[in-house]
Structure 1
């Protein structure tokens, strides 16, 4: 499979938390060539079962969330400006002058209003959500034909290539995790496996791992790996708290995770000469792993994260090499030696 084209196509799917159905349906189509069986759990959570089921094997879940951060329409002013609030943890520092799309009866393009520097008195404060307005160029009466309160809003950006193996765009968190699972499944075709494997395309992660909580209970796996993103080092950040782009997957170690699974992933990487990084967390992981580890009687859980810069912005940056190395790690962990 062409991993670059896969990541780009995934990043262009629109699906803010709670509004994932269109994206979920399209991603389901991508998994159908590997997964003969699937189920929909709760609100649009697709569970894709890889290959043939063997009742003698334990069930391993690879979880990647399908939602992205975004905004929700709260009001339309008499002047035709669209007021919004956040869906998930958007960085408000970047909002002014950003192009956006309102997903109503049809998509309406707009831009977030920005006060010119000539009209400000010195420094500009970070916008509060009460001050965020979208200009579409339409009147209130025109807008009300196409949009409604509660419609979702996402950044209007395309995924673009940078130098080397790097891409930049929105929603790479966590579409690159989905891409790595797809690539791992491609690598596992025709292989003998140690586990029954299910990919969980979880919704509403950005609202508190809600989809994962439902799926953890319903699917009831023996082992779960949350395939997500984590912080990649950039200028001004603490290197000790970040991974590095192009250096491989970040294997999680935390009191809230299974050290057994962490060690097995590390040993798999060493045995197969797969570059990897260690991500130490002192408590909860702020990923879907937190929901699996305490579901029912507890699930052996770990995180495998792809380094990403500029998280929750329209210019997230990833290295395709890390997605490929993550897929290799997952595939070698799953297949028989």
Structure 2
């Protein structure tokens, strides 16, 4: 059972002058740093030697995890402080089915904070390390059943899936009650911005420590990285109260980001308990809060100039002078391993299947932009299939084999749900058109990636940005989806951005407990992988009839590739098998009255769907092939349509050969690798049937 191995913290930095580039990376490291409120000491204590080496002073960690450095001597006595924690969730229940329930820890200011964690990759921060997880969300294919679920999601509606099937399996992962839970995502840099939860507040900590490299020319300064800011800053209060030889004359607090910059002396500070001032014998403090975009969200964004302003404020409060080009202090960022790179899970019994699936799953491919996936599949085909492979006029990849009679088609699709650029406003706001049944709430307030054509301007083929969250909301779904990439329209056009290009969120697939696996676009990279694995199992000389293995384009929202293939091959096709997801109701958010199949219990004969039904005789052929090969087979009805529907109008019955999946059309899709392996074996068995 894989342990807590987590996804690589990749900091995406735009092209800026060296000093700004270094600043952005340093701020991003602080935004990525793990310091869950109340348990900051797990990580902050380890920072003391790192900060000491970087600043030339001795940082000390107290019992709560506060970090304190004193520099200089005499009077005046100054304090410059930031709060390093940020709000999150804690595990409050572990169900007998192996699901986790949560409660929020720390106050949040944005109505969409809880909802932004639904349908996303999360991680549980256990005493042994981070354990990957996902937050359940209603299946995108079951929108009709959830049409009355209109209100914004709250913490009480979050269910966390770690891939376990029992409370005992959860315990084996090291997960316990009260363990912190957070979004599994490193800081996200775009344009001149760094984005992430509490980005403005964490930039303040970067500024405090960077200013601490200098020594005050007069008096003494105490630099404090405080814990438990979410609870009113008791960490700072404790530091002030337990330092009897230090009577502060002036305290500067670098606060969380606001919509507008704030700098003033105040007698009371919202969010700071009055006892903190009493502990320090203070009647007022000086506060500095940066202006940020999307304050209080997971994509709170602070610009380079605001971070630089914070550093100036920290220096003024500390009574130090900065060099012309300050060297910003970074902190170590925990490495989060992906499914494709984790040597532990790659080497186990499901490692080969997982690695092959991850290679395809982590590639972007919105409709009409499937070329990356097509090339990856082509490269992995066995030599005989690669020699037979052809790409048709719309981009379908087709491998033909066997004698020219009784053609049977197996078809999986390469594209995924996502968005296309619909228009670009003068300020750079990009309006998006939905491609496929993407669940909008699962993209709002998340990082965004715009995919450029290969080789545009000789630069990298992506532009980083964010899906713009609403400022406030009562209802779950937004009417329009927009993104912003830190540039105006002229700059975007200069980068090669055009209407029609694909936009997704970043994705890194990851292994959950046992054989469970999560990543966006399992629909239908899992089907594409199973079809690829089946082709490698087949000796084309043993096929008793013609077989077409097809990886189609533009399935999401139109079955475009399938229609082109059906026009060419439909009349001569005796049967078509759609290799696609079976959207299972085996989740805590769905009714089990239909579409209920279990993950891990084998592939699914998708007998009925919205657009077609397979004949009983064809179903029996599949069951016979499964029995002969010793493959467990489930049968069911689900919602949605598949490529094979296009062939039914030419007289070819459509039968779905599927893998069961949860949380369809969202970033949290989950499957079981055993089902993918058995599906590949089933496809091969059916292809060889006479």
TM-score for the superposition, normalised by structure 2: 0.45
Asked if 1:25 is matched to 2:375, the reply is yes
Asked if 1:142 is matched to 2:491, the reply is yes
Give the structure 2 partner of residue 315 of structure 1. 668
Whole-Å separation in 1 of the counterparts to 2:659 and 2:538? 20
Asked if 1:278 is matched to 2:278, the reply is no
Q: Which runs of 4+ in 1 moved over 4 A?
A: none
1:171–1:285 Cα change, 3 Å: closer
Give the structure 1 partner of residue 357 of structure 2. 7
1:330–1:123 Cα change, 3 Å: same
Whole-Å separation in 2 of the counterparts to 1:274 and 1:45? 29
1:128 to 476, 479, 484: 479
1:253 to 600, 603, 607: 607
1:134–1:302 Cα change, 3 Å: same
Q: For residue 84 of structure 1, report the CA deviation from its aligned partner.
A: 1.1
1:289 to 629, 644, 647: 644
1:280–1:89 Cα change, 3 Å: closer
- Judge conservation of contact 1:227–1:304 (CA < 8 Å) in 2: yes
Comparing 78-87 and 2-11, the one that deviates more: 78-87
- Could you list the runs of 5+ residues in structure 2 that have no partner in the other structure? 1-350
Asked if 1:208 is matched to 2:558, the reply is yes
2:442 to 94, 102, 105: 94
Give the structure 1 partner of residue 538 of structure 2. 188
Give the structure 2 partner of residue 48 of structure 1. 399
Larger Rg: 2
Give the structure 1 partner of residue 297 of structure 2. none
Asked if 1:168 is matched to 2:518, the reply is yes
- Judge conservation of contact 2:403–2:543 (CA < 8 Å) in 1: no
Give the structure 2 partner of residue 225 of structure 1. 577
Give the structure 1 partner of residue 653 of structure 2. 300
Asked if 1:243 is matched to 2:597, the reply is yes
Q: For residue 333 of structure 1, report the CA deviation from its aligned partner.
A: 2.1
Whole-Å separation in 1 of the counterparts to 2:689 and 2:646? 28
Q: For residue 176 of structure 1, report the CA deviation from its aligned partner.
A: 0.6
Whole-Å separation in 2 of the counterparts to 1:227 and 1:260? 19
1:64 to 412, 415, 433: 412
Comparing 74-83 and 140-149, the one that deviates more: 74-83
Q: For residue 319 of structure 1, report the CA deviation from its aligned partner.
A: 0.8
Describe the SS at the equivalent of 1:241. coil
- Judge conservation of contact 1:252–1:262 (CA < 8 Å) in 2: no
Whole-Å separation in 2 of the counterparts to 1:124 and 1:316? 23
Give the structure 2 partner of residue 108 of structure 1. 463
TM-score for the superposition, normalised by structure 1: 0.89
After superposition, the C-alpha distances for 1:190-213 in whole angstroms (9 at most, x for unaligned) are 772333322111111112212111
Describe the SS at the equivalent of 1:144. helix
1:225–1:15 Cα change, 3 Å: same
- Judge conservation of contact 1:251–1:279 (CA < 8 Å) in 2: yes
Whole-Å separation in 1 of the counterparts to 2:640 and 2:508? 29
Give the structure 1 partner of residue 389 of structure 2. 38
Q: For residue 304 of structure 1, report the CA deviation from its aligned partner.
A: 0.7
Whole-Å separation in 2 of the counterparts to 1:16 and 1:293? 25
Whole-Å separation in 1 of the counterparts to 2:476 and 2:577? 40
> Which structure exhibits the higher relative contact order, with contacts defined as CA atoms closer than 8 Å and separated by 6 or more residues?
1
After superposition, the C-alpha distances for 1:23-57 in whole angstroms (9 at most, x for unaligned) are 2233222225341312222310111124xx324x4
Count matched residues: 324
1:85 to 433, 446, 450: 433
Two-structure CA RMSD over aligned residues (Å):
2.2
2:423 to 65, 75, 81: 75
Comparing 83-92 and 212-221, the one that deviates more: 212-221
- Judge conservation of contact 2:419–2:433 (CA < 8 Å) in 1: yes
